[in-house]
A = this chain, B = another copy of it.
Amino acid sequence: MKHFGRSSRRRLLQMGAAMGGGLLAGQQKVLAWDTPGKLGTPLGPYGERSPFEKAVRWRRESGTPETGSSFTPLQDSVGTLTPSSLHYERHHAGIPTIDPAKHRLVVHGMVDRPLSMTVAEIRRLPSVTRTLVLECGGNSASEWAARTGPDVQRSYGLASCSEWTGVPLSLVLAEVGVRPGAAWVIAEGADACRMERSIPLAKAMDDILLAYGQNGEAIRPAQGYPLRLIIPGWEGNTSVKWLHSLKLTDQAYMARDETAKYSDLMPDGKTRIFTYQMEAKSVITFPSGGQTMPGRGLYELTGLAWSGRGRIERVEITTDGGRSWVNAQLQEPRLPIAFTRFRLPWRFDGRDAVIASRATDESGYIQPTREALVAVRGTNSIYHFNGIKYWTVKADGTVTNVEV
């Protein structure tokens, strides 16, 4: 029991009891099943998932399938990583097919020694690996005005977590020699729309990566192959995919995606821009909207918490609509700016239950209620919703996003 602690053991025993022997009674006779009696399929060069697994990204029907968002099926997630095949997408001109042998990263503008590097050259430089969540600034946009996302995929699925490997941007900036007066780095992608964002130099000198690796292999095309800017803790749009140009300037560019988009219209009619930072957030993934409990008894309630400001320190759970809260168990290691899996044994007793999670990060910031958020920012906003999310488990076992 060394690795799991005595409390886990007690919990399971309670679970057995609470199920009235449900796991045991009537099943002792099922001591075998019709297991395969013939050879299986051969070993293969590059494996696939089971044909019985059906989880896919979801996207709204669209006349322009090259633009839009596709959402990670968080309801099917286990652990803390997102499979690269299910990492959320947000594209503005489709996924370019880039030959890494021809691709170049150009670092230019207010620098002493402008630089053009191949991916192979970048891979010779000192690298680091970090597990980081990426979250679209527009994740949970549906939650601002009304709780319209019927399930956790469609309302929270623009967040995914990968292990990224790449070169610290600060090293490359030291190499090119940033000139006095330079204050911004304009990052531009090699997609057809040349998506670009303005990044303050201070952040560029801090913890940004020029990433070429994702979850142990080359970054996937849908996530920026062969090179992506990875900006820890900031809205995903700033982590420019298919990165091909970094230009040092003395001013921000006021690009489309930091003025018309990815800016926050406040109640007074003014707009906040350059609101890069993602705050602490959490959501219960089981039980969640659209799921049905197979019956009464004990379950593992579980979900994901993360913060752009660092580690998750605490996740509290309510199962009575916010009247009382208890601490969930947090999966270690809790890595900064990464998904933290939380878990709590929970008994569904066949009565309506309103459940939610509330995260606190290492800065002491506590995830606010939707009402507190709206009181400050109004309901014109599209971006940066991180309010507490409630699900209702109904007496018949169905789960919805509607509060009782």
By the criterion CB–CB under 8 Å, are A221 and B129 in contact? Answer: no
Interface of A with B (CB < 8 Å)?
1-4, 8-9, 11-13, 15-16, 23-24, 27-53, 55-57, 59, 65-66, 68-70, 76-87, 89, 91, 93-104, 106, 108, 113-117, 120-121, 123-129, 161, 163-165, 168, 170-172, 174-175, 190-192, 194, 205-207, 212-213, 215-218, 220-222, 225-226, 244-245, 294, 297-300, 302, 331, 333, 335, 341, 343, 345
Is the Cβ of B216 less than 8 Å from the Cβ of A23? no
Give chain B nearest CB distance to A129 CB in angstroms: 4
Interchain Cβ contacts under 8 Å between A and B, 29 examples: A3-B206, A4-B128, A4-B168, A4-B171, A8-B126, A13-B175, A28-B114, A29-B116, A35-B244, A36-B190, A38-B192, A39-B192, A40-B91, A40-B93, A40-B191, A40-B192, A42-B66, A43-B66, A44-B57, A50-B225, A52-B225, A53-B217, A77-B216, A78-B212, A80-B129, A124-B298, A124-B299, A129-B341, A333-B333
Known: A2-B207, A216-B78, A331-B128. A43 touches B70 (CB 8 A): yes
Contact A31 to B106, CB < 8 A, known contacts A66-B39, A80-B216, A218-B50: yes
Name the residue of chain B whose CB is nearest to the CB of A13: B174
What CA separation (Å) do A298 and B125 show in the bound complex? 8
CB pair A36 B98 closer than 8 Å: yes
Contact of A121 among B23, B129, B172 (CB under 8 A): B23
A228 to chain B, nearest CB (A): 13
Q: Is the CB of B86 within 8 A of A47?
A: yes
Residue of B nearest to A194 (CB): B35
Could you tell me if B3 and A207 are in contact, using CB atoms closer than 8 angstroms?
yes
Q: Could you say which of B8, B56, B345 contacts A168, with CB atoms under 8 Å apart? A: B8
Measured in the bound complex, the distance between the Cα atoms of B29 and A98 in whole Å is 21
Given contacts A43-B91, A47-B222, contact A117 B84 (CB under 8 A): no
Contact, CB under 8 Å: A79 / B213? yes
Least CB distance, A177 to chain B, in whole angstroms: 10
With a CB–CB cut-off of 8 A, which chain B residues contact A51?
97
Chain B residues, CB < 8 A from A11: 126, 171
Task: State the CA gap A78–B59 with chains docked (Å).
Answer: 31
A103 to B50, CA, bound (A): 14
B-chain residues with CB within 8 Å of residue A13 when the two chains form the complex? 174-175
Residue of B nearest to A72 (CB): B216
Are B2 and A217 closer than 8 Å at their CB atoms?
Answer: no
